[in-house]
């Protein structure tokens, strides 16, 4: 937020950079997570000594990774989509590929929904069995139960 004048080397070429904690804060993830993505080859921040320097482009990549994650894409799927982006062209290939990935995701989700519906139905069925079983026990004799103690 604050234009920083206190960084000797960093800001002189109008090259904005971010520290790992800058981006972690901005995106609401831990620094650990960002390092993890780097380890997976999803981003390649510059180095200044040991410190990572993230460029605006790294920042966008992280934003896209997180966006993909939100719709349930695997990290691998996120990369596949992102790496297909080519600023020089139409990116119709990328878009078609993304649509395929989304369709695939929908299929998985719908199958899971069917599985859940199925389990829910089974649950209800077994519960009904239990309740029938219980009522067959207490039905014969309800009057003289044991609640007169105290």
Partner DNA sequence: ATTCTCACA
Partner DNA sequence: TGTGAGAA
Query: At closest approach, how far in Å is the CB of 45 from DNA?
Result: 8
Residues 4-63 that bind DNA (CB under 7 A): 19-21, 29-33, 35-36, 50-52
Structure tokens at 100: 């395929």
Phi and psi, residue 48, nearest 5°: -125, 95
Cβ–Cβ under 8 Å, residues 100 and 90? no
- Among candidate residues 53, 41, 70, the one with its CA nearest the CA of residue 16: 53
Structure tokens at 41: 């080859």
Residues 82-141 that bind DNA (CB under 7 A): none
Query: At closest approach, how far in Å is the CB of 40 from DNA?
Result: 8
Query: At closest approach, how far in Å is the CB of 17 from DNA?
Result: 12
Which residue ranges make up the site for DNA (CB under 7 A)? 19-21, 29-33, 35-36, 50-52, 69, 74-76
């Amino acid at each position: 937020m604050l234009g920083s004048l206190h960084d000797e080397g960093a800001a002189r070429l109008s090259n904005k950079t971010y520290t790992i904690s800058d981006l972690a804060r901005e995106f609401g993830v831990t620094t650990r997570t960002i390092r993890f993505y780097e380890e997976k080859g999803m981003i390649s921040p510059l180095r200044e000594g040991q410190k990572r320097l993230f460029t605006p482009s790294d920042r966008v990549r992280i934003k896209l990774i997180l966006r993909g994650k939100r719709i349930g894409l695997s990290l691998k799927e996120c990369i596949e989509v992102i790496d297909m982006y080519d600023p020089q062209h139409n990116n119709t290939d990328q878009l078609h590929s993304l649509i395929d990935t989304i369709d695939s995701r929908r299929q998985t989700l719908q199958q899971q929904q069917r599985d859940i519906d199925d389990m829910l139905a089974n649950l209800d069925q077994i519960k009904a069995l239990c309740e029938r079983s219980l009522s067959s026990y207490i039905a014969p004799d309800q009057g003289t139960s044991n609640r007169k103690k105290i």
